Amino acid sequence: MSIRKQVVTVIIPCYNEGKSIKKVIRDFNKSELTKEIFDFDILVVDNNSKDDTALMAQEAGARIIIETRQGKGFAMRSGFANIAPNAKYVVMLDGDDTYRPEEVLRMLEPLHHKFCDAVVGSRLSGKIHGDGMTKLHLGGNWFFTFIVRNFYPANVTDVLSGYFAWKREVIDNLAPNLKSHGFAVEMEMITKMARLGYDIYSVPISYHHRAGESSLKPFGDGLKILKMFLKNLRWENPEAIEAKVEIEKLEKLTEVQA
């Protein structure tokens, strides 16, 4: 008896990742068990790269979108707008070969078995290989994870991870509420998912030294991430606000009629 495969759109935001993107895409086909259950729709969002990222991704068999507005937030929002219509799950990981596509089954299993709504790959509770993360970046990740866990209902152990998996309906509700332009998008996604009431879970993953240079600016981007954390402490779902207003109107109308 054949098992009907479930479609997973894998979004890979890229900026100058020509050296690594082909390997990242091809590594999704390494797990025979994963291929028996899931059908991967690989979507590379080329964020206005100056190298051959788009060409390398196309040669590896991925769908390509060019997003000319600079910033990871723009790339992610463009990717969310182009998820395959029949996709049941959505995965996101960076294209710099720091994350392992072979570990995607670990990310999808909790969703597939209805354990949670979203999964965050945790480097901090997993394995950081060699000089994959500097002490400055490690300290920043611990700090942001600590404050999120203490101020939001989010059971996560690495809030700045670049490896996520979601049920499709989570993205359908989350994506219209995303405003980030750059690297604050991970903080925005986790804090707004928590505010929307989704069950978020972390799984340990491995993290490796990146191929090429990072465009992350530790202090400048760190400040933007902190601002996003503070801003979303008071954030409410617009649909919930509208519903609340309608209820208040109904209550006032009832009082007048009484």
Q: How far is CA 24 from CA 40, 67, 154, in A?
A: 13, 20, 29
Residue 118: CB atoms within 10 A of its CB come to: 26
Q: Which residues pair with 128 in a beta bridge?
A: 207
Report the predicted TM-score, pTM, of the whole model to 2 decimal places: 0.88
- pLDDT tens sequence across 57-96: 999 999 999 999 999 999 999 999 999 999 999 999 999 9
Q: Which residue has the tokens 């570990």?
A: 103
Question: Which residue segments constitute the domains of the chain, with CATH numbers given?
Answer: 6-257 (3.90.550.10)
Structure tokens, 64: 């390509």
Q: In what order do the strands lie in the sheet with 118-128?
A: 63-66, 38-46, 6-14, 89-92, 164-167, 118-128, 200-207
DSSP assignment of 41-60: EEEEEE-S-SSSHHHHHHHT
Joined together, the tokens standing for residue 198 give 């989704």
Q: β-strands 118-128, 164-167: how paired?
A: antiparallel
Which of 129 and 198 is assigned the larger pLDDT? 198
Closest CA to 43 of 70, 72, 21: 21
What percent of the chain is predicted at pLDDT more than 90? 74
CA distance 62 to 21: 10
Is residue 30 scored above 70 in pLDDT? no
Burial zone of 216 (CB within 10 Å; 0-12 exposed, 13-18 middle, 19+ buried): middle
Side chain identity at 37, as an amino acid letter? I
Residues 6+ apart with CB under 8 A from 1: none
Confidence of residue 245 (pLDDT cuts 50, 70, 90): very low
Q: What is the pLDDT of residues 157-204, one digit of tens each?
A: 999 999 999 999 999 999 999 999 998 999 999 999 999 999 999 999
Three-state SS for 86? coil
